């Protein structure tokens, strides 16, 4: 991202450029990330910068990337095999519920839930210990893993976690006292 702002530009120029770019890209974002209401055209004076919205990643940043295997049942099944074969299940548990690594079944996506963000997590790794698989796995395999991870907890999940017999937590028996 720093390449958009040549270092020699002063701060004011950088801000002006950001405003101009926000105006240029607004149309391409559609309903996501666009600034509602007034936009600014090149040359207009303003002292505000269009907002950035935490949690929303503009398409222009993601490079319009999406999973070629989204909703592909065959790819999801392969993704399951990769998940086990590459020991993902060792850290994230046999059905992605988590252990050493976080749960992949819940609604909290620490690094974002977009396909491209999940791809990034797998390919580039993450600071708190997710290894970077991008040098070992070609993109086509990583995308299948993405498809499998997205299927967890949905109808598309190929091997659903077994239901284990509910534990009967009985009333605790009376404590055993010392004799004598």
Partner 1 sequence: MRGLASRRPPPIRWIAPAILLALLAPLQGCGDRGPEPAPAERRVSTQAATVDESRAPAGELVDQPGAPSPGEWTLPGRDYAGTRYSPLDQITTRNAGDLRVAWTFSTGIPRGHEGQPLVVNNTMYLVSPHPNIVYAIDLRNPGGPLKWKYHPPTDPAARGVACCDVVNRGASYADGKIVFNRLDNVTVALDAESGKVDWETKLGDISRGETMTMAPLVVDGRVFVGNSGGEMGVRGWLTALDLGSGKVLWQAYNSGPDKDVLIGPRFKPYYDWLKGEDLGVKSWPPDQWKRGGSTVWGWVTYDPELDLLFYGTANPGVWNPDMRPGDNLWSTAVFARDPATGEAIWASVTTPHDEWDYDNINEHIPVDLVIDGKPRKALLQFGRTGFVYLYDRATGQLLSAPMYQHTNWATGIDMKTARPMEVPEKKTHEGVNVTNICPASTGARDQQPAAYSFRTRLFYSPGTNLCMDYKAGRTAYIAGTPYLGAEVVMYAGPGGHRGEFFAWDPVAGKKVWAIPERFPVWTGALVTAGDVAFYGTMDGWVKAVDARTGAVLWKFKAGSGLIGNFMTYLGPDGKQYVAVYAGVGGWAGAVALGLSPEDPTGALGFVNAMKDLPDYTAPGNTLYVFALP
CB 120 within 8 A of CB 40: no
Query: How many C-beta atoms surround the C-beta of residue 121 within 10 A?
Result: 21
Q: Is 138 in the site for partner 1 (CB under 8 A)?
A: no
| By CB under 8 A, residue 55 contacts partner 1 | no
CA distance 100 to 120: 19
By beta-carbon proximity to partner 1, the closer residue of 22 and 120 is: 120
- Closest to partner 1 by CB, 12 vs 172, is 172
Give the x-and-dash track for 74-113 against partner 1 (CB under 8 A): -----------xxx--xx-xxxxxxxxxxx-xx-x-----
Torsion (CA) 51, 56, 59, 60 in degrees, nearest 10: 40
- Please say which residue, 155 or 167, places its beta carbon nearer to partner 1: 167
- Conformation bin of residue 178: beta by default, left when phi > 0, alpha when psi is -120 to 50: beta
Interface with partner 1 by CB under 8 A: which residues? 85-87, 90-91, 93-103, 105-106, 108, 127-131, 153, 161-162, 164-165, 167-173, 175-180
């Amino acid at each position: 991202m720093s390449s958009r702002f040549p270092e020699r530009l002063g701060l004011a120029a950088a801000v002006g450029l950001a405003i101009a770019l926000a105006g240029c890209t607004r149309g391409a974002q559609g309903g996501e990330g666009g600034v509602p209401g007034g936009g600014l055209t090149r040359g207009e004076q303003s002292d505000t910068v269009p907002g950035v919205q935490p949690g929303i990643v503009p398409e222009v940043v993601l490079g319009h990337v999406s999973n070629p295997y989204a909703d592909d049942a065959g790819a999801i099944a392969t993704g399951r095999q990769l998940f086990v074969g590459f020991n993902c299940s060792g850290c994230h548990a046999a059905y992605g519920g988590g252990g050493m690594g976080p749960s992949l079944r819940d609604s909290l996506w620490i690094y974002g839930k977009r396909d491209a963000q999940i791809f990034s997590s797998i390919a580039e790794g993450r600071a708190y210990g997710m290894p970077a698989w991008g040098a070992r796995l070609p993109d086509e395999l990583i995308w299948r893993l993405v498809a499998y991870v997205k299927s967890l907890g949905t109808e598309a999940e190929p091997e659903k976690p077994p239901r284990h017999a509910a534990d009967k937590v009985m009333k605790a028996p009376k404590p055993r006292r010392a004799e004598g």
